[in-house]
């Protein structure tokens, strides 16, 4: 019997199911809760994944793993790939005023034409604008922004070291040109103090310790 595993790392919990590839029958499953609230240390996601995997009886006998993750989370990394502050989840609305400011500065129609989106509080771009204004010290340290789907890909690589990493998902951000698959430099400049730059190390290489927002 050949087995595959599916992982859903959602807002409230992490769920793991293992199924028979021939019949689709559920063989076993596991679950672990995520912290409450709209702000969370990304280390908690990795810890919950480990608990859910153990609860499901492990993944040593599965042939493949697929991981889905919540959207729009803001995970900011410094030049060494360390998490700077707790992640802001999609349902954190503190950046609603920042979304309104971006629309006022660029225009809703122009924003939609350039990116296919109009900024709202759930989008990462508005959270970066909030970070610029509310936490300028942290904003100045930002070298990269890791979205939740990308973290799911890295988690899959850590669970199955040596396996080929699947293609990266398209970012759902309000400063990305989806039709050209590139960042919009003019809109990124709206964040000013947030200046992404090359990292000295991968944020979560397979087999390495997971980055944490806890003080260093």
Residues 2-32 have pLDDT tens digits of 999 999 999 999 999 999 999 999 999 999 9
Q: Please report, rounded to a whole number, the percentage of residues in the chain having pLDDT higher than 90.
A: 48
Average pLDDT estimate for 131-151: 83
- Largest interatomic CA distance in the chain: 58
pLDDT at res. 151: 58
The answer to whether residue 206 scores a pLDDT higher than 50 is: no
Of 95, 100, 119, nearest in space to 175 by CA: 119
77-80 long-range contacts (CB < 8 A, ≥24 apart) are 77/142, 77/143, 77/144, 77/145, 77/146, 77/199, 77/203, 77/211, 78/141, 78/142, 78/143, 79/141, 79/143, 79/197, 79/199, 79/200, 80/199, 80/200, 80/201
Instruction: Tell me which of 58 and 208 has the higher pLDDT.
Output: 58
pLDDT band at 197 (very low <50, low <70, confident <90, very high): low
Average pLDDT over every residue of 115-121: 88
Res. 145 pLDDT band, cuts 50 70 90? confident
pLDDT bucket at 174, cuts 50 / 70 / 90: very low
Residue 187's H or E segment, with its range, is helix 185-188
pTM: 0.73
> Rounded mean pLDDT of the chain?
78
**Mean pLDDT along residues 114-139:** 91
pLDDT confidence tier of residue 155, bands split at 50, 70 and 90 = low
In this predicted structure, the answer to whether residue 54 has a pLDDT above a threshold of 70 is yes
């Amino acid at each position: 019997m050949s087995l595959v595993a599916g992982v859903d790392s959602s807002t409230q919990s992490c769920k793991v199911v293992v199924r028979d590839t021939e019949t689709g029958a559920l063989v076993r499953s596991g679950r672990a809760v995520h912290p409450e609230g709209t702000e969370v240390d990304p280390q908690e996601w990795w810890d919950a994944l480990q608990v859910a995997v153990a609860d499901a009886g492990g993944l040593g006998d599965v042939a493949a793993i697929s991981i889905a993750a919540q959207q729009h989370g803001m995970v900011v990394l410094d030049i060494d790939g360390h998490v700077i502050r707790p992640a802001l989840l999609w349902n954190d609305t503190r950046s609603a005023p920042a979304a309104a400011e971006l629309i006022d500065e660029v225009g809703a129609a122009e924003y939609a034409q350039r990116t296919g989106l109009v900024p709202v509080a759930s989008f990462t771009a508005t959270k970066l604008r909030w970070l610029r204004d509310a936490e300028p010290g942290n904003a100045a340290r930002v070298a990269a922004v890791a979205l939740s789907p990308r973290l799911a890909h890295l988690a899959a690589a850590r669970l199955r070291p040596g396996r080929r990493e699947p293609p990266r998902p398209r970012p759902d951000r309000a400063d990305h040109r989806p039709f050209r698959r590139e960042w919009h430099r003019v809109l990124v400049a709206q964040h000013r103090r947030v200046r992404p730059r090359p990292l000295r190390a991968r944020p979560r290489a397979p087999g390495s310790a997971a980055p944490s927002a806890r003080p260093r």
